[in-house]
Structure formats: C-alpha cells, structure tokens
Amino acid sequence: MRREVSLRDEFLPLVGSPVGSFSGEGVFVGYGITAPECAWDDYAGVDVRGKVAVALRHEPFVKDDGATAWLGKRLTRHATFESKARVAAEHGAVGLVVVPDLASYPRGAEPARMPGRRFWLSLDPTDLDAGMVDSEELTAGNVSPADMVESIHYARQGPDLSRRLAIPSVFLGAGAYEPLLDPAAEERAIEKARGPRSRPLEGARISATVAIEASSVATANVVGRLPGSDPVLARENVVIGAHYDHMGIDAAGRIWHGADDNASGTAAILELAAALGSAPPKRSIVFVAFGAEEVMLLGSFHFVARPTVPLESIVAMVNLDMIGRGGEEDLRASPKEGARANQVFVSGIDSSPALTGLLAKANEGIDLEITPNESMADRSDQAAFYVAGIPIVFLNTGEHGDYHRVTDTADRLNYAKATRVARLALRCARSLADLPERLPFVDVLKKSEAWAGKSRKEVFLQGDSTPFLERPDL
C-alpha cells in the first residue's frame, strides 16, 4: 500500500535538515540513541546501512515531570534531533524519520488523537496558534545551558540551514506514522523490557524529499550609551538589555502582541535610561534593545561579535525579558516554569561570586522573592554575554498560558510587579556600575560533560563572528 503524507498537517522537515531526498527500507531504532555511558544502544542487532531510521522523540523513561531515569533532572543531549541524526548517519542510515513519544503530548493524550501541526518544528512562527502544545514541549530535549550550543551555532550560520543535521530528516505527526508503527505501543514495550526493542519494519519503504527555502529579513539592534561620571571608570561599561522583537503577524492579520514578551522588558530599559540619566553612575551604561531574539538570539550575538564599545570594557550585563507576569493563573498554565505572584527568576547569579549579595542588597525594600533559575540562562540575550566571559543577571517572571500566543496582550500584565522588577534591575545595574573593581567571571558550565573539554569559542562562536573569534583569550 502506498501512502503519501501532507506537509504541515502530517509531516515537517526538521529545522536544519540537509536539502535532499532519501529512500530505503524502514527500521525502527527505538529512540535512536547509542550511549555507552548509559548502557544503551538502540542500534544493537539491527542494520540500517542504506536504510531509513525511524526513531521516537526524546529518550527512554521520561517521567511525568520531564526528568529522565538517566539524568534524574532533565533530558540528556541524546534526546536532541542533532544527536539522533548524527548517530543514524554513523550507523549508515540514509535518512531519519522522528515520530512522537508520549512525552510529546499533554498528559493523558494519546499521539494518534493529536494533529501533527501541534509541533513547534516549523520555520514559520505563525504556526504557534491556539493549538500549540504547552511551554515545556517547546524546549524539551535541548534546554540546558550547555546543550543550547547546537541551536545557537547553527542558527547563526545564516540562511543556509542545511549544516545542522547529518542526514535528511523529517518529523511525522498523527495519521502519517500509523501505517508504519504505533509509537505509544513501541514506547510501552521498551519500558516493559527496560531495554531497546529495535526491529526492521517489515514491508515498509520510506521515501522523502526535503527542500527548505530560506528568506532574509533585515532587522537592527537599537543602542544608546550614557557616559559614566567617573573619569577613569567611565571607560568601562555595564550593558542593560531587552529584546524588542516578537513573533509578528500572520497572513490572516492576527498580531502576536508580545506585551510580556517583551514589551515589558523594553519599556523597563527606557525607564532605566531616564532614571540613570538623571544621576549617572561611575561606569558608563550601554542600553541595547535587541532585535531577532526570537530567532535564536541573533541580535545579541551580533552585538557581542561587533560591539559598539570594546568588548573587554563590558563588566556585566543585565537583561530583562518577560517581567510582567506571575501568580496562580500562570502557575496553573505553566506549573514548571510559571512564577508566584511575588516571585522573580534570576539567572546568572553564579557567573560571579558577588552577585548573590549584590542582588540581595538591591532587593531591600522591594522585597521580591528572588529565585535562582539557571534553566533559563540560555533562553534570552544574556547568553551571548556569558559566552564572552561577562557576568550576567537575567530577570524574568516566568512563563504562562499566553506565552508566544496572540493573547499576550497589555491587559494581562501585572504593572505593579513589572515596576518592582525594573526597580530591582535599576539598583542592580547602578551597583554594578559603581563597584570599585570589576567582577570576576565564573564559567559555571565549564565542568559540564556536555562541553567535552571545548572552549566557549569553539562551541558557540562560529558563523559570522570572525572579529570575536580573533580574541585569543576566549
């Protein structure tokens, strides 16, 4: 029986798939993982040379809270599309087909009942409609700060996205995979066996063509500098940033307003500029409204690659992204990444030893509930500065049910809370700018196994960042 599938509704090319075609016998390879350190090999006992590997998304034994039996806290790098494609290619496969596992859906929903377009795998941001899955699905599989490197690195290659995955790769949604296998049944069989259950898909031949047409859009960072008051320290700079871009408008004219993400942060840096301008601190302040944050942080990485002030003069970076939400409703919508009414998440505290005390002092009288949250450290523009070896402070009030939806509107904001977070950022930035000595930088991620001994330069800074790469100290 011949079965053709339709683009978007039933299948999507994985972002970064090489352009090209593949055809071959289908082989189910479990989760598509070869991980000796986890005593797991989905390719043991099957031959995929010249064939098409069919793999479940994520990795074995994912728990209800998103953790895995392997790591205990979060998914490993083996869950990423990059890893699955690389391992399939290493075993001789000519193509990769990824199908959903149970963790790909809201709790209690079976894959066969869910449309394939629910997956955030398209290059078109307007696919993020009311049928979008919840926020943890957007980041499942490659969310840790050390594991963000593939996404940023390949996004920064420019419009040629064909260098990300090792072989042509596609994702099959509901309705498309049923002639091949039942992913839910395969997953349960693996869980019952507590080991791989790979096998040839008898009589199945899979053919696909991947063709990705990239388009270019011009954008810009908006930068202003407030000179410091100290004749010596004014040569150094503290960066205060927030991205001003969002998801845009679709063909039907629907607007993704982005009130929290990130009009809240953009408004805050304007207020901070006015407040600091009335009484400049000792060091200079560089205010940056970043473009293209929603496209893999391109604006901030461009700034770091081509800064408007000497990069070595930047002593710290304070970033504000989504600072106007939190509360019971948001926690119900996003129990893992939502914030309480008085809570603000802070990432980067460990990037310099003095930041914990500095933030506590800045919070006196504001009395926000400061919660360190390093799982957010890679997900906004401060990441580019961390890569450059600059201490960072990222303020965020958590995710919510309006995240990346048309319902992120101004009437949903908690203006009083946003004001308090902005005041915290103001005090923090002023303290950083008035310190007698610049803060030392701590590379928290350097001990991570995911870095595999590579420098930040080797892992992150490629593509169009030649001037940055010439710095020998990175």
Dig out the tokens for 473 from the structure.
């100290």
Query: Is the model's pLDDT at 441 over the cut of 90?
Result: yes
Residue 214: per-residue pLDDT: 67
Residue 375: per-residue pLDDT: 66
Q: Taking a C-beta distance cutoff of 8 angstroms, is the pair 101, 62 a contact?
A: yes
Query: Is the model's pLDDT at 105 over the cut of 60?
Result: no
Please tell me whether residue 332 adopts helix, strand or coil conformation. helix
- Chain-centroid distance of CA 288 in Å reads 21
Query: Is the model's pLDDT at 119 over the cut of 70?
Result: no
Question: H or E segment at 199?
Answer: strand 199-210
What number of H helices and E strands is found in the chain?
12, 17
Q: Cα separation of 176 and 100, whole Å?
A: 11
Q: Cα separation of 332 and 325, whole Å?
A: 13
Q: Cα separation of 438 and 440, whole Å?
A: 7
- Compute the C-alpha angle 189/192/197, nearest 5°: 45
Place of tokens 């209690």: 108
- Chain-centroid distance of CA 449 in Å reads 19
Which CATH architecture does the domain made up of 11-210 adopt?
3-Layer(bba) Sandwich (3.50)
Query: Is the model's pLDDT at 65 over the cut of 90?
Result: no
40-41/34-35 β-pairing: antiparallel
Residues near 352 by Cβ (< 8 Å), separated by ≥ 6? 316, 391, 439, 440, 441, 442
Please tell me whether residue 34 adopts helix, strand or coil conformation. strand
Residues of the chain with CATH 3.50.30: 11-210
Quickly state the pLDDT bin for 72 (edges 50, 70, 90): low
Quickly state the pLDDT bin for 14 (edges 50, 70, 90): confident
Peptide bond into 221 cis (omega under 30): no
CATH superfamily of 222-469: Zn peptidases (3.40.630.10)
Q: Taking a C-beta distance cutoff of 8 angstroms, is the pair 97, 54 a contact?
A: yes
**Cβ neighbour number for residue 399 with a 10 Å cutoff:** 30
Question: H or E segment at 425?
Answer: helix 415-434
343-347/369-372 β-pairing: parallel
Share of the chain above pLDDT 90, in %: 50
Q: Cα separation of 40 and 196, whole Å?
A: 7
Quickly state the pLDDT bin for 171 (edges 50, 70, 90): confident
Closest alpha carbon to 169 in 104, 74, 294, 80: 80
Kindly state the average pLDDT of the residues 326-343. 91
Closest alpha carbon to 289 in 229, 241, 351, 337: 241
Q: What is the CA radius of gyration of the chain?
A: 23
Quickly state the pLDDT bin for 121 (edges 50, 70, 90): very low
Q: Taking a C-beta distance cutoff of 8 angstroms, is the pair 386, 451 a contact?
A: no
**Mind listing the pLDDT tens digit for each residue in 182-194?**
888 999 999 899 9
Q: Cα separation of 407 and 403, whole Å?
A: 8
The model scores a pTM over 0.95: no
**Cβ neighbour number for residue 383 with a 10 Å cutoff:** 29
237-243/284-290 β-pairing: parallel
Residues of the chain with CATH 3.40.630.10: 222-469
314-320/343-347 β-pairing: unpaired
Please tell me whether residue 83 adopts helix, strand or coil conformation. helix
Residue 143: per-residue pLDDT: 28
Within 13 Å of residue 249, how many CA atoms lie on the same side as its CB? 5
